[in-house]
A and B are shown apart, each in its own frame.
Chain A
Amino acid sequence: MKYLGKKSLSSLLSGILHLSWYIVLVLSIIAVVMGAIILFSTPVEDPAALGIAKVNFCIFSELKNDKDWQMIEKLPLAVRILFLPYFGAIVVLLLQIIKKSQHLFTNFKNDVVFNKSNVLTISKISKLLIGFSIITFDFSSLLAGILLLMLCEIFKNGTALQEEHDLTV
């Protein structure tokens, strides 16, 4: 199996990440609309309602028996507002991680491996992953972030060696 260059694993991953960026973007827009409906509107009791009210009715009829929702419902509006920047930060971090990873795999697809731009991208991905893990309390992401930080140092050394090799005539 080819890992670098055209028609390789990197090429496939680059395509998947490109597609998943748009999927995450669309899903997050839907989530923002749904979240806003859930957090800031009053439940509609009428089953014959139309449009947004119908969506509102469907969502609240599903949530009625949910224990987590019953806890959230009791929170004041000021606290509920804080949910939006929290989820917003998660979505922005996720989109950035996907975008940077896609950039990295596109470089791999073009046979650009030990390059300063890749070192910078890996460093950014690792920092974003660490930030993501802290926000979501996901320690597997934290481990991945730290590993990427190590990989960044390896790539830094690799880039120096590559430069040395390219400038040896």
Chain B
Amino acid sequence: MSIIFRLDRVMADRKISLNELAKRIQLTNSNLSILKTGKARAIRMSTLEAICRELNCQPGDLLEYQPDEKNILE
């Protein structure tokens, strides 16, 4: 998918662990891990809002668009 979730980068900047963030936003570790590894198909607005609130960032800091190689060739 060409949308990349940059959670790991923002978390590293804020020096916060996965467990800590999961606890703060009341999400399971496995669900947050799905988000971090880029396996997620969709994200709820409430989850995005909670992450932005806890990491003190904007949705644009977390999401990044990178065109697929296939699309670039076209």
Contacts and interface: CB of A to CB of B under 8 A. Distances in A.
Contacts of A168: 40-44
Q: How large is the interface on A (under 10, 10 to 19, 20 to 34, 35 or more residues)?
A: under 10
Contacts of A169: 27, 31-32, 34-35, 40, 42-44, 47
B53 to A, nearest CB: 16
Interface of A, helix, strand, loop or mixed by DSSP: mixed
Contact of A164 (B27, B42, B43): B42
Contacts of B32: 169
B70 to A, nearest CB: 22
Contacts of A163: 41
| Chain B contact patch, size range | 10 to 19
A168 B44 CA distance: 7
Interface in B19-46: 27, 31-32, 34-35, 39-44
A75 interface: no
A167 B44 contact: no
Nearest to A164: B41
A163 B34 CA distance: 13
A159 to B, nearest CB: 14
Nearest to A167: B41
A169 B41 CA distance: 8
Contacts of B39: 167
A169 B37 CA distance: 12
Interface in A131-169: 163-164, 167-169
Contacts of B47: 169
Interface string B36-74: 000111111001000000000000000000000000000
A146 B40 CA distance: 36
Interface in A103-142: none
A163 B41 CA distance: 9
Q: Which 8 A-B pairs have the closest CB atoms?
A: A167-B41, A168-B42, A169-B35, A169-B31, A169-B40, A167-B40, A169-B47, A169-B43
7 contacts: A167-B34, A167-B40, A167-B42, A168-B40, A168-B43, A169-B31, A169-B34
Interface of B: 27, 31-32, 34-35, 39-44, 47
Interface of A: 163-164, 167-169
Given A168-B43, A168-B44, A169-B31, 11 more contacts: A164-B41, A164-B42, A167-B39, A167-B40, A168-B41, A168-B42, A169-B27, A169-B32, A169-B40, A169-B42, A169-B47
